[in-house]
Amino acid sequence: MSKKRKSFSLLLVSLMALALVVSACGGNGNSATNNSSAGGNGKGEAPVNLIWYTIGTPQKDVDRVMEEVSKYTQEKINATITMKMVDWGDYQQKMQVNVASGEPMDILFTSAGGFDYVQNARKGAFMELDDLLEQYGKELKDTIDPAFLEGSKVDGHNYGVPANKELPQQEVWRFNKGLVDKYNLDITNVRSLDSIEPLLKTIKENEPTITTFAMDKNYVPYVPYDYVITNLPLAVKLDTTDYKIVNILETPEMKEALSTMRKYYQAGYVAPEAATTGSTSDLMTSGQWFMDRAQTQPSADNLWSASYGYPVVSTQASDAIITNTSVQGSIMAISANSEYPEKAMEFLNLLNTDPVLRNMVDSGIEGVHYKKLDDTHYENLAESKNYDMPSYSLGNNMLLYLNPSDADDKWEQFKQFNAEGVNSPILSFNFDSTKVATQMAAVQNVKEQFWSSLMTGTVDPESYLPKAIEKFKEAGLDQVMAEAQTQLDAWRAENNK
């Protein structure tokens, strides 16, 4: 906590103490206003309302659920919660505007890929949490896998609370099992982008109204590289020995993948509007899709099946790699402008350690959105369609109830999955773009112009890829790459890589 914040807190405490003395001298007998203590929940004081911005398709019953959440949190920590959901495709831009305008907020979702955690921490959008974690987050620190807290440090400090979830990042091909079974399709040998073509062809020929290969504008073909900067084309090969940063668009692997995506787009496997689609949630709700690519975790098929209301199966599309993107894949930060940082940390501590609160935030109201089957298992009710939340973004996943088909040792499987992940060669390297801020802005503009249409196969890479590469260079990508390489070389030397 900054010295300025500490001084303000001390002044506030002094004024409160004076007010209590005056109140006591007045002899009004209103002891209810004086019954809070430093370690209590502040009963007798007006509750603090915390504003929480998070990512995901806005749900009909959010306010209804937050009313119940607030009853619980008011009893526990004397705070109420207002949740504001921002749709997937709008989150980055909306949160940039909110931070720049000083929009009131206390807690906000951030990640390596959604409202960039590292860059916004460095820009001062988030409060440094080291002291707050020590004072109000001790239980939280004891609960979360230490690799998350260590891996999410920026320049040696924590600026957010990572979700305790899967540690590695592993891609899978997901399938609508009803269609797999209907056409007796063999998915056991599917792995590469090319290997899915026969499956796509079968569905397209027999199910013309189905979106064969579902994706949104954030889709990027998988190649065995780790991105130095999320969402920009600088990357290092996973099996690197020289730690050389390359332009991913100039690699043979990406060129081949983009050519394949173009073929799939022209064959009608990809929706014409894929490059401008913010989310595929409507497809998932309706079941009008055959396959897509997603990040997995133990028992993920059960989670997806329960969420969508029909069976989903998956098969491996990549190795399990621990990257900055996965370690920083889901973080809750406290806004630098929060009026109640201490109370916000109290809430985050409770959310990540209290199963009642965590499951209410995730699944809604018991008896309305879900029902308990036993102490650890639950199933969704019909009303869950009005409160279908992205679990990964809402805190400690290992407190969640299990789906009916989940193994009893699901969370032990998570711990094993995390332990077996392989570290990316550049894990914990965080590029500082300060020296090339102008070029970064220009590069980002070029990315907005070319990226989605190239990645989804909407445009022909034969003609558009050279244009994109040229535009990136004109924008200053080579200067950004050179600065990143200098920093990576220094990091490598410092860490004996």
pLDDT in tens, 62-100: 999 999 999 999 999 999 999 999 999 899 999 999 999
Three-state secondary structure call for residue 331:
strand
The whole-number average pLDDT for the span 163-168 is: 95
Three-state secondary structure call for residue 422:
strand
Please check the confidence at residue 251 and state whether its pLDDT lies above 60. Answer: yes
> Domain boundaries in the chain?
35-166+327-410
Q: Which pLDDT score is estimated for 44?
A: 75
Q: Which pLDDT score is estimated for 14?
A: 38
The whole-number average pLDDT for the span 268-282 is: 95
Q: Which pLDDT score is estimated for 42?
A: 63
Q: Please report which confidence band the pLDDT of residue 18 belongs to, taking 50, 70 and 90 as the band edges.
A: very low
Query: Residues, the chain, total?
Result: 497
Tell me the pLDDT of the chain averaged across its residues: 91
Beta partners for residue 174, in sequence order: 292, 314
Sheet holding 107-110, edge to edge: 79-86, 48-55, 107-110, 331-334, 161-162
Q: What are the pLDDT digits (tens) for 216-243?
A: 999 999 999 999 988 799 999 999 999 9
Q: What are phi and psi of 496, to 5 degrees?
A: 55, 45
Q: What are phi and psi of 263, to 5 degrees?
A: -60, -40
Of 13-17, 468-472, 474-478, which gets the smallest average pLDDT?
Answer: 13-17
Quote the pTM value.
0.79
CATH 3.90.600.10 fits 35-166+327-410, yes or no: no
* Under 8 Å between Cβ of 377 and 404: yes
CA separation, residue 267 to residues 228, 457, 483 (Å) = 33, 10, 41
Q: CA–CA separation, 239 vs 225, rounded Å?
A: 8
- Helix pair angle (341-351, 62-77), 10° resolution: 100
In the structure encoding, which two tokens stand for residue 485, read together? 């390489």
Q: Which pLDDT score is estimated for 8?
A: 34
Q: Which pLDDT score is estimated for 194?
A: 97
Q: What are the pLDDT digits (tens) for 169-221?
A: 999 999 999 999 999 999 999 999 999 999 999 999 999 999 999 999 999 99
Q: Which pLDDT score is estimated for 472?
A: 98
Please check the confidence at residue 263 and state whether its pLDDT lies above 70. Answer: yes
Three-state secondary structure call for residue 38:
coil
Q: What are the pLDDT digits (tens) for 359-395?
A: 999 999 999 999 999 999 999 999 999 999 999 999 9
